[in-house]
Each structure stands twice: as C-alpha cells, then as structure tokens.
Structure 1
C-alpha cells in the first residue's frame, strides 16, 4: 500500500510526506516513510501474528539521534 499527504501550516513551513508498506512474506511487512519538514526518513519491519502485530522501526531526524520505535498492536 502507499499513502501521501500534504500539510498546510499558515505560520510554519508546509510539509509533504510519503509512506509505503510491502508484504514480503505471509507474516512480514516492510514499512518506509519520508517527510519533508522536518526532514526525516523511517524504515520498519512489522510481524503479523493472528490479530496481533509487532513492529520495530527506526527514524532519522535532522537535529536528534536515531529514534527507535517498538509498537504492539491488535485488530478485531
């Protein structure tokens, strides 16, 4: 899947973002993202186990170190 958005901010810089998910095997999904303001990239791996999903991602930032994200989710 693929998503995009444009954010209009009257008193700040507008921003544009893109995201995509790619199923590489039955339970595995690679996710990536890009955002223009603040400039950053993200890359993650999601594992689907029944109704539960576990995701790990890392995101860059122009002024901070890498951000590591772990997400545990459920769908019903």
Structure 2
C-alpha cells in the first residue's frame, strides 16, 4: 500500500479499506454510528466558547511545509503572505 505524506492515515483510501466491518463504517451501515466519533476535551470546548482576544483576522499555512502558520491583521498583509 502506498501512503502519501507518510502519515498514520491510509492515503489514498482503497475500496478494500472501505469494506472494514465496523458499526462505525457508514459505507456499510446506514445511519449514525453507535457512539461518538470525536470527543473534544473540555479545554477545546472552553476555547470555542471563550476565544482569546487577538487582532489577527487572517491566517494561512506557511509556505515552507513546516506546519506553522502566518497570521495577519489586514487582508492586504494576508495577500502579501500568500505562497508563490
């Protein structure tokens, strides 16, 4: 199996991957799964309910592939930070 980006997630998914027998596999079982598929922490919920004040309205991934982000106050600054 070939994996793109060397992550733990199988990428791309094959037809065989979609046949995995699990009640959470909505390709095989219609409707909602029997339990939560994601469970955010209380800290994550609090961060959404009470976001930190910041002057930054724009962000994007940096162009170097590092996984970091560049934040901008104005749309013009945001456009100046776009990758070539």
The two structures have a TM-score, normalised by structure 2, of: 0.17
Higher relative contact order, structure no. (Cα contacts within 8 Å, ≥ 6 residues apart): 1
The two structures have a TM-score, normalised by structure 1, of: 0.18
More strand by share: 1
